[in-house]
Amino acid sequence: MRVTILQPSYIPWIGYFDQINKSDVFVFFDDVQYTRRDWRNRNRIKTTKGEEKYLTVPVEAKGNYDALIKDIKIHYDNKCWEKSHLGLIKENYRSAEFFPEVFPILERHLLEKYEYLSDLNCELTRELSEYLGIKHVQFVKSSGLGITNYNDSTEHLVNICKKFNATTYLTGDSAKSYMNEEMFKKENIELKYHGYKHPEYNQLHGKFLPYLSIIDLLFNCGKKSLSILKA
């Protein structure tokens, strides 16, 4: 039983979906502190000029530095950020082969008017995973597991893994700097680092740019995307 635990992010990069695909259980880690200027509420697309552009979801987090991810609300105003995002996506990807297949998924969720950022991120990630053909994974939110008895971040992760009788915990390479590996060994849980190598694929608008949102791959490659991202 392989478990992955990641914070819910806005239209994440392709490595995020590779971790989903390599999991039996994927836990949206939504009961930890929200981090500003991070991937929770933004990601990057490629413009017709061959440049990166950030799409950022406005949130109501000002002054609330201890807020948990699950409690962060989306800020809606007369600027209509969701229509702006859809307009920018359409402007830069309308000529992509699989735009007609993928754009309605984004449009449906961005116009849903979710109250909470994590709900938007989780539901959109689930449906994009389904489009990719990832059907074997159980998605859950950590906030629904009732896990409150832990002393530090590693113990929190271990307790989540134990909840699912995990034999393996798959995590990102950056976790090496803070993970207490002995706690996993003590529970007979193999700690495996992702070690993801970013593939290249046919991309619009000039020189290939890596580490963009998954939607760049989906617009260009459609349902072939899963075989590309897990190569």
Nearest-angstrom CA–CA distance, 46 and 219: 11
Q: What is the pLDDT of residue 231?
A: 65
The dihedral over CA atoms of 222, 84, 9, 138, expressed in degrees to the nearest 10, equals -50
Q: Average pLDDT for consecutive 10-residue bins of the chain (231 residues)?
A: 98 98 98 92 98 96 83 90 97 98 98 96 98 97 92 92 97 85 94 94 96 98 96 65
- Residue 71: alpha-carbon gap to chain centroid: 17
Among 226, 209, 207, 210, smallest CA distance to 218 is for: 226
Residue 206, burial from CB neighbour count under 10 angstroms (0-12, 13-18, 19+): exposed
Q: CB within 8 A of 202, min separation 6: which ones? A: 220, 221
Q: Is 76 helix (H, G, I), strand (E, B) or coil?
A: coil
Among 210, 209, 228, smallest CA distance to 218 is for: 228
Q: Answer for the pair 198, 106: CB distance below 8 angstroms, yes or no.
A: no
Nearest-angstrom CA–CA distance, 204 and 95: 9
**DSSP designation for 223:** G
Nearest-angstrom CA–CA distance, 110 and 161: 32
Q: What is the pLDDT of residue 151?
A: 81
Kindly report, residue by residue over 117-149, the tens digit of the pLDDT: 999 999 999 999 999 999 999 999 999 999 988
Q: CB within 8 A of 92, min separation 6: which ones? A: 45, 46, 47, 48, 53, 204, 205
Side-chain half-sphere CA neighbours of 216 within 13 A:
30
